Chains A and B, each alone.
Chain A
Amino acid sequence: MVVHKGRKVVNKGSKVSDKEAVKDAEIEDLDVEVSDQDLESEDLDVEDSDQDLESEDLDVEVSDQDLKSEDLDVEVSDQDSESEEDEGDAKPNAPPQKAVYDRAGLLDKLGDVSWPENVEWLHKLTLNFSQEKEVDVNDDLNRELAFYTQALDSTREAFMKFESMDMPFLRPSDYYAEMVKSDNHMEKVRGRLLAEKRRIEEAEERRKARENKKMSKDIQAQKLRERAKEKKNEIESVKKWRKQRQQSGFAGNGKDTDIGLSFEDGNTFERSNKKRPGVHPGDRSGGKARQGAGKGKPGADKKRKGRDFKESKYGFGGRKGMKKQNTAETTNDMRDFSKSFSKNKKRKT
């Protein structure tokens, strides 16, 4: 069936060429055949279409060759049948029909060349490695991995042998000798490695910064939410307290109110000790001066005399105004009054 088609096509082609009166009839014929087959390959059987593809696009890639050449073999046999009927339009790039394989000659030569049988392994240093599974040549990564594992396996085997022979085989760390690659070259290699590492790090940093930027929005939003929630809680608690007071008919003038109120533990109305970000050290609302005062620890006094405090008070940074005015804290701060006066008073009474 295939052959018939082919012939028909050729005839058609020749007709065309007659009409067109193109110069080289033979070449035309061939070309026409190829192109037409291509176009009509739908009705040919699958094998044939494969062939077409094959003959058309032989890839340069080494790796594909095996598969391809198998196909080529098929093609050859088909061509034979074709050429018998169709006076041989064999393609120019068919492989040799019969490849020479002189097994006896090869073995003979092998015998001539090879070393005597009982040569020590140390002369040869050959190792055999059986590859369990087929390696796909096109898959670069797997192929290289296969080579690597082969090398690693063989090396292990060899080292075991060396060890059993009890001979030195590892290079001591103080053995220096000429290397295959010069120091100059190795310097270049190292430079490249470092450059690559740096590039990766930089990229990583950039990525992180980008992500942080995205995250910062989230963080801000979360803070706002938290603040709103806190405020709401406080309002709730105040309402609750009011209600309770109303229920108890304003009976307790102060002592009853302590019960079960969350803000009563003293935390709610106190400002947090945390230093607020972006506030100058001298600022009363959250600077260093405030921190020292707010703590009220015994160590705080000492700290006040420190350089930091002085700087915050008299000089560097922060808002300069309002510094000397009283605040809630300074009015409550009774440390400056002499104690002896009060003591005397107490004694007298």
Chain B
Amino acid sequence: MKKVGKKRKHAETIPEPKKELVAEERPKRTLLGWKDKPVVNENEAVAPTFRNKEKVLITSSRRINYRYRHLMLNLVSLLPHCKKDSKVESKATKGATLNELVELRSCSSCLFFECRKHKDLYLWMTKSPSGPSIKFLVNAVHTMEELKLTGNHLNGSRPLLSFTTNFDKDAHWKLIKEMITQIFGTPKDHRKQKPYYDHVFVFSIVDGHIWFRNYQISCPHTGADKIDRGGLEKMTLIEVGPRFCLNPIKIFGGSFGGPTLYENPLYISPNQIRALEKKKKSGKFAQKVKAKTRRRMHEMSNPLEQDEFADMWKD
């Protein structure tokens, strides 16, 4: 890891780190003589400087829907630290392929949009190479192209990430929150990043699903970087999009595979839902037949009494 920190001249930390490094080398010269004060990273002694070097690979499966493809492209435009790759065949061995791909593109995480049957979108959120990976079902998709969403913001400014507190309730939510923070947050001092903060991502758990919203922050201010209370009060948000809703299905230990760590007990696959609907519709005729036969049975078992006045008017 490359260490970049504020370089400062430090007197106390001279002895230990200097010894091995500089013993053989000639001390550096300056114009006026030997450079006697060594330059040592300040934070090195305390803790390694943290530098976020997250890179996200974004790709999709083949035969993806246009709507979902647009969603993917929206995310590409929102995450300046991502790399987009060509589509990947979605088959049993896609895990290995994707892992390879992630490594090839030297990314540390991956968002894989898997579309099945042209209607169901699954999202894989993966840390590479050692996992974990989360599989979501994506519903309620609205892309940024929709004209209802009128906001706009800088391409590449860092988003604020707002989470509801119920992300801290359970282990799996905590893990998901951490992953989202890493993947959706733009690394500080990333080269494509733009200064200023003009949009906010909202992640909210409602009803066991994670809802995503993206708002532009529009704040009246007078050029200076001070905003008073009134400015904060007057601040409004305009939705930029996209919108989607993630339903966690499973969490795996490895990247695109590995032991299952979590399984959503409430998850019902869209296939099942469709099958049920179909079945519900299909039973109509059978039910009618059943009802008819039952009626006949009933009539046979309880015959009507002979009506004594039946042939009254016959003659």
Contact = CB atoms under 8 A, between A and B. Distances in A.
Contacts of A131: 164-166, 204
Contacts of B275: 93
Contacts of A339: none
A151 B50 contact: no
B21 interface: no
Given A103-B171, A152-B235, A193 B161 contact: no
Interface in B204-263: 204, 206-209, 211, 213, 215, 217, 219, 221, 223, 225-227, 232, 235, 237, 240, 245, 247, 251, 253, 259-263
Nearest to B271: A93
Contact of B150 (A62, A69, A105, A193): A193
A181 B268 contact: no
Interface residues of A, number: 87
B280 A170 contact: no
A178 B154 contact: yes
Nearest to B74: A180
Interface stretch (A80-88, A154-162, A204-212): A154-162
B106 interface: no
B17 to A, nearest CB: 21
A118 B171 contact: no
A177 interface: yes
B216 to A, nearest CB: 9
B154 A123 contact: no
B28 interface: no
Interface stretch (B8-16, B87-95, B97-105, B127-135): B127-135
B172 to A, nearest CB: 5
A260 interface: no
Contacts of A178: 154-156
A106 B251 contact: yes
A106 B130 contact: no
B147 A113 contact: no
Interface residues of B, number: 101
Contacts of A231: none
A101 to B, nearest CB: 6
A297 B200 CA distance: 73
Interface centre among B154, B177, B202 (most CB of A within 10 A): B202
A34 interface: yes
Given A66-B208, A180-B78, A188-B147, A129 B171 contact: no
A109 B131 CA distance: 8
A46 interface: no
B164 A128 contact: yes
Interface centre among A34, A152, A180 (most CB of B within 10 A): A180
Interface stretch (B33-41, B61-69, B138-146): B138-146
Interface stretch (B110-118, B180-188, B307-315): B180-188
Interface of B: 47, 50, 52, 77-78, 127, 130-132, 139-140, 144-145, 147, 150, 152-168, 171-172, 174-175, 177-179, 181-182, 185, 187-188, 194-198, 200, 202, 204, 206-209, 211, 213, 215, 217, 219, 221, 223, 225-227, 232, 235, 237, 240, 245, 247, 251, 253, 259-268, 270, 272-277, 280, 283, 286-287, 289-291, 293-294, 297
Given A93-B272, A100-B263, A169-B225, 9 more contacts: A35-B291, A65-B266, A73-B265, A99-B264, A151-B213, A154-B202, A170-B225, A179-B155, A189-B150
14 contacts: A58-B268, A62-B247, A102-B260, A113-B179, A126-B163, A127-B162, A137-B207, A147-B213, A151-B213, A154-B162, A156-B232, A163-B226, A168-B195, A189-B150
Interface of A: 16, 19-20, 31-32, 34-36, 55-58, 60, 62-63, 65-66, 69, 73, 93, 95-96, 99-103, 105-107, 109-110, 112-116, 118-120, 122-131, 135, 137, 143, 146-148, 150-156, 158-160, 162-163, 167-173, 175, 177-181, 185-186, 188-189, 192-193
